[in-house]
Chain A
């Protein structure tokens, strides 16, 4: 993971405007393959997203998401197989409950909920992947830099 200083440098963007940094945690079997399909189909989407591949959404601990925010992510996208399609049968069902609670906690603590997006993208949904990424990127760009977490991490 890159450091905060780096992210500040990068967030300036080519035209001088703010370019958000999005971390995407995706599952190996569906969303990663979906993103791959988007690539091989030559579909265009915004390049702000950094993809981290994991075996399953069930492997994604809320700690990963917090670490991404702490290390300078302006938004986080979590994506995996549709319910019923999990390669490990039930990983995404468990993840769904975990994210429900995590999201409620983050909302209660005061994070802007547009910075945290969950989605199901299958291996056949290259088009959906591009839409989800564009949508999250636009939303976070409108919100601006994640100042709440930047301030929190300033003294470290």
Chain B
């Protein structure tokens, strides 16, 4: 697949169809990869494809992070591809400005443990959809997991009492050092000014206090409701190991159950938090 990818990148750059190819290259540590930006055909051999292509490269597509004159070709796993589609849906990038190179993916492995990632075990699409080019053989892809597999981790918390849940999250959020890595790595967090850094009025206290951490953790997940594509990057980059994916998974579960919506699957679907139906469920309202 690496050879096919390099060949395709070379063609795209030589023909001028793309001015840059965003992909994965070897990192300084063996067995790891790092995002690379290939701008000339001669450099195309720097691209690699293996089980450690962890980053969600869609984060480079939002305008504040990356600008180029020609088209951008981007290497995307099926999960990352959903993020690109969601960015198109939210008018952050024009579909015709991007050449999506979809990779048939049989799952990624953790850099340290070498075990398959949790999100890959619960993956529903190994074959990319909505892309311009496909690399890899769709027939070789593993079977999709059960649609509810990604929510199994929620059951333990949902079975707890409210007091236990509060204690759990208080402990987890107390670890937060407010590095905002979860926000920076999220392809959906593209606001030029984040509410977490507004000071007049200050909605979210900026210092590492229990109050501020709780508020930030909660609103990060709330703002991603109906937009989170479950790439799991927030949890992967968290330096203190807060289970951020539990919060976003809860939001995805609610969105699926209440509004039957999956983010990043259909570029023309109405976004659930910007739309409504007169007969939406309201069993909690008096």
- List residues of A whose CB falls within 8 A of some B CB: 62-63, 66-67, 70, 83-84, 90, 93-94, 96-105, 107-113, 117-120, 132, 148, 151-156
Q: Pick the contact of A96 from B158, B209, B285 — CB < 8 Å?
A: B285
Determine which of A63, A83, A105, A109 lies in contact with B278 in the assembled complex, contact meaning CB atoms within 8 Å.
A83
CB pair B286 A108 closer than 8 Å: no
Q: Which residues of B contact A (CB under 8 A)?
A: 157-158, 160, 162-170, 195, 203-205, 209-211, 214-215, 218-219, 221-222, 225-226, 247, 250-251, 254-255, 258-259, 272-274, 276-278, 280-282, 284-286
Q: Is the CB of A66 within 8 A of B218?
A: yes
Task: List 23 contacting pairs A-B, 8 Å CB cutoff, sorted by A.
Answer: A63-B204, A63-B219, A67-B203, A93-B280, A94-B274, A94-B276, A96-B285, A97-B272, A101-B226, A104-B254, A105-B251, A108-B250, A109-B165, A110-B165, A110-B169, A112-B162, A120-B286, A152-B170, A152-B211, A153-B210, A155-B210, A156-B205, A156-B209
Residues of A within 8 A of B165 (CB): 108-110
Inside 8 A of B211's CB, which chain A residues have their CB? 70, 152-153, 155-156
Dominant SS among interface residues on chain A: helix
Q: Is the CB of A111 within 8 A of B203?
A: no
A119 touches B278 (CB 8 A): no
* Residues of chain B lying within 8 A (CB to CB) of residue A84: 278
Question: A7: shortest Cβ distance to chain B, in Å?
Answer: 15
Are B214 and A152 in touch, CB under 8 angstroms? yes
Q: Are A102 and B163 in contact, with the CB atoms below 8 A?
A: no
- Are the C-beta atoms of B162 and A118 separated by less than 8 Å? no
Q: Are B280 and A101 in contact (CB under 8 A)?
A: no
The reply to whether A155 and B282 contact each other, CB–CB distance below 8 Å, is no
B204 — nearest CB in chain A belongs to which residue?
Answer: A63
Known interface pairs A101-B254, A101-B255, A109-B166; 17 further A-B residue pairs with C-beta atoms within 8 A, sorted by A's residue number: A63-B195, A70-B215, A83-B282, A93-B276, A93-B278, A94-B276, A96-B282, A96-B285, A97-B272, A102-B222, A105-B221, A105-B251, A107-B162, A110-B165, A152-B170, A152-B214, A155-B210
Residue of B nearest to A107 (CB): B162
